Amino acid sequence: MVGSPEGETVNVAVTATTFFAAGIEVIEMVAIVVAVGSTRSWRAALVGAGGGLLVLVVLVAALGTALREVPLDPIRLAVGALLLVFGLQWLRKGVTRIAAGGWALGQGEEHVDEGDVPVDRFDWTGFVLAFKGVSLEGLEVAIIVVAIGGAAGALGSAVVGAVAAVVVLAAVGAATYRLVARIPRRALQLFVGALLSAFGTFWSGAGIGVAWPGGDAALLWLAGLYAASGVALVQVIQRWRTSEEVR
């Protein structure tokens, strides 16, 4: 333990444990916001993320340690189903666009297709996806804080660790989002669709009691599986179109 400027003690072990435990959830939170912002609307994604954090703050203030009793499975199932539906739609759109025109076309060269949101309108779909993703991951962070901090009698130290994880990883996301934005839109839609489908599958499965091998690490192979399936479908469609043209 070390002394804080106010004379209170900070449990370094609790702070570090909470930082790394919450960091896993925060990485998923940032990934969803960056994915939605890159493919839909940054304004909607950031407003949705802010709304999710605001609701979380209110819940934490109102419920406190009672958060440990909140049933997460129904929430995971509902949010997971929503992300899976939208993720598969984006994956399909990315596959069909790439199969029709290749991978190289950039964001600035593409027109707004039917179903896309004009830049002068607020994207409520992006808002809802970011809001639900941040709310769910934030709720899990809050439960981690209560569980670790409450068990060690150092709730303040746990809060410090969780806040540090949010600040550090949000800064990493802010510093790298431009790299994501440089990816051609159609390729981004395919891979973001794979990512959201992976989150949706993971959370839906967890909501009905599926024990994923490796825990949160299962998100990596689920995302890889969806992405590989999307790339394979692109190849199949392109070959089919080529054979039709030859005929």
User: What confidence score (pLDDT) does residue 105 get?
Assistant: 53
Exposed, middle or buried: residue 15 (CB in 10 Å: 0-12, 13-18, 19+)?
buried
Give the three-state DSSP class for 87.
helix
CA 32 – CA 131 distance, rounded (Å): 10
Over residues 30-63, the pLDDT tens digits come to: 889 988 888 888 899 999 999 988 888 887 777 7
CB atoms within 10 A of CB 235: 11
User: What confidence score (pLDDT) does residue 127 get?
Assistant: 93
Residue indicated by tokens 């540090």: 164
Where are the extended beta strands (E) located within the chain? 2-3, 9-10
**Closest of 2, 201, 187 to residue 86, by C-alpha:** 201
Residue-range domain boundaries for the chain:
10-246
User: What confidence score (pLDDT) does residue 247 get?
Assistant: 63
The pTM is what?
0.71
The DSSP result for 48-95, as a single string, is HHHHHHHHHHHHHHHHGGGGGG--HHHHHHHHHHHHHHHHHHHHHHHH
Contact 180, 33 (CB under 8 A): no
Give the three-state DSSP class for 240.
helix
Per-residue pLDDT of the chain (247 residues; tens, 9 = 90+): 444 444 457 788 889 988 988 888 888 888 899 888 888 888 999 999 999 888 888 877 777 767 777 787 888 898 889 889 988 988 998 899 888 888 765 444 444 344 455 556 888 888 998 998 898 888 888 888 888 887 777 888 888 999 899 899 989 888 887 777 777 778 888 888 899 999 999 999 989 999 898 888 899 999 999 999 999 999 998 888 877 666 6
Over residues 61-96, the pLDDT tens digits come to: 777 767 777 787 888 898 889 889 988 988 998 899
CA distance to 19, 123, 173, 216, per residue, from 167 (Å): 11, 26, 10, 21
Residue type, 50: G
Give kind and range of the element (H or E) at residue 180.
helix 155-181
User: What confidence score (pLDDT) does residue 24 get?
Assistant: 83
User: What confidence score (pLDDT) does residue 3 get?
Assistant: 46
User: What confidence score (pLDDT) does residue 111 get?
Assistant: 42
Tell whether the torsion through CA atoms of 9, 10, 11 and 12 is positive or negative. Answer: negative
